[in-house]
Amino acid sequence: MYKPKVYCSNGVIVVLVQRGAKIDKTVDLSDLLGNLKNKVDCENILVIAQEYSSVKIYDKIGSNGGFAVSKVEFLVKEGADLAFVSRLGGYSVVFYLEKRAILDCFMLVTDEACVKKDFEIVLRGERARAVINGVYLVAGDQKFFLSVLQKHLAKHTSSFLRLHGVASGRSLVDFQGTIFVEKNAANANAEQAIKTLLFRNAKVDANPNIEILNNKEVTAKHKAAAGKVNSKILFYLRARGFTKARAEKLLIESFFDLFTISLDTQIKKDFAKRLQKKMRRLL
């Protein structure tokens, strides 16, 4: 099986997927970097998906200990296809998408500590397309700060961000989202949607912003919603013998299902385990 090339250059770890390479099996980023782990002192990682390559990367960096980076950058070149699944370590992420590049990203936040994340998606090539889905569970005194910037610099680009989350205890979800459409990015299509289910004394601060510079052929949407679980459905389930906690759990699972359903089986199992563990604490 083809393996991406990994090397260190000027303090940056470079993961290179060669032109035209197709990797069907999901690549674990920490496995890839395993050899370099103790040898170099790098702060950044740069993943380059060369033209017309296709790769799926699963990332555990930052959460498996011992290997902390501050920034991970992805350069997805013309016609390349990148799927990135992240448990969100302690670093910021930037995606650069060139002509006809495709990004399919999924993020999961179940960590216990406070999480502060910066996501930037720069669509700089024509017809580049990005889909970012995410799920988060925060509880206790946890604080989750997420900032996402979808930057459209070229024509016919599209980006979709959808986040579903649950906040419980005295936790706080702070979301700063921006859709930015540059002057020449005609026919751009962008969307941001964040939905949070609230339990107990949890708080949400959502700022989904849109900035459109001088362009009429643009469609941009954002949605933000926060509330409790639907009381009618809860009542329906309880009338059928479910306990309140069990009914709430079912509703949360279905709330997340929309996004997790398309993941690889192994990753899905891994995520399901983490979700269950966190949910036990949450409810």
Partner 1 sequence: MQAKKKSNDFKYFFTASKGLNKKIVCEISEKKNEPGWMTDFRLQALQLFETIPTPDWGCDLSELDPNDIRFYLKPIKNQQTSWDGVPEKIKQTFRVLGIPQAEQKFLAGVGAQYESEMVYKKLREKWANKGVVFLDTTQGLEQYPDIFKKYFSSVVLPSDNKFAALNSAVWSGGSFILVPKGVHIDMPLQAYFRIDSSAVGQFERTLIIAEPGSFLEYVEGCSAPVYKQNSLHSAVVEIIAQDNAKIRYTTIQNWSENIYNLVTKRAVAHKNSVVEWIDGNFGSKCTMKYPSIILKGEGAKGQIISISVAKKGQHQDSGGKIIHLASNSSSHFISRSISKEGGRSRFRGLIKVKEGAHGVRSSMRCDALLLDDSSRSDSYPNLQINEADVDVGHEAFVSKINEEQLFYIRSRGLSSSKARAMVINGFIDAFVQKLPMEYAIEINRLIEVDMEGSIV
Q: Which residue ranges make up the site for partner 1 (CB under 8 A)?
A: 167, 198-228
Least separation, in Å, of the C-beta of 168 and partner 1? Answer: 8
Cα–Cα distance, 64 to 204 (Å, whole number): 28
Nearer to partner 1 by Cβ, of 23 and 197: the residue is: 197
Asked if residues 8 and 33 have their Cβ atoms less than 8 Å apart, the reply is no
152 three-state secondary structure: strand
Asked if residues 85 and 26 have their Cβ atoms less than 8 Å apart, the reply is yes
Cα–Cα distance, 46 to 43 (Å, whole number): 10
Nearer to partner 1 by Cβ, of 80 and 179: the residue is: 179
Nearer to partner 1 by Cβ, of 25 and 200: the residue is: 200
Least separation, in Å, of the C-beta of 128 and partner 1? Answer: 20
Nearer to partner 1 by Cβ, of 149 and 272: the residue is: 149
Q: Which two tokens stand for residue 239?
A: 């009338």
Least separation, in Å, of the C-beta of 112 and partner 1? Answer: 20
Nearer to partner 1 by Cβ, of 18 and 184: the residue is: 184
272 three-state secondary structure: helix
Least separation, in Å, of the C-beta of 17 and partner 1? Answer: 35
Nearer to partner 1 by Cβ, of 213 and 233: the residue is: 213
Least separation, in Å, of the C-beta of 134 and partner 1? Answer: 18
- Closest listed residue to residue 111, CA positions, set 133, 143, 85: 143
Cα–Cα distance, 271 to 266 (Å, whole number): 9
Cα–Cα distance, 237 to 228 (Å, whole number): 16
Alpha helix segments (H runs only) across the chain = 29-33, 231-239, 244-260, 265-282
Least separation, in Å, of the C-beta of 152 and partner 1? Answer: 12
Nearer to partner 1 by Cβ, of 133 and 178: the residue is: 178
- DSSP string for 179-203: EEE-TT-TT-EEEEEEEEEE-TT-E
First-to-last CA distance in the chain? 43
Least separation, in Å, of the C-beta of 174 and partner 1? Answer: 10
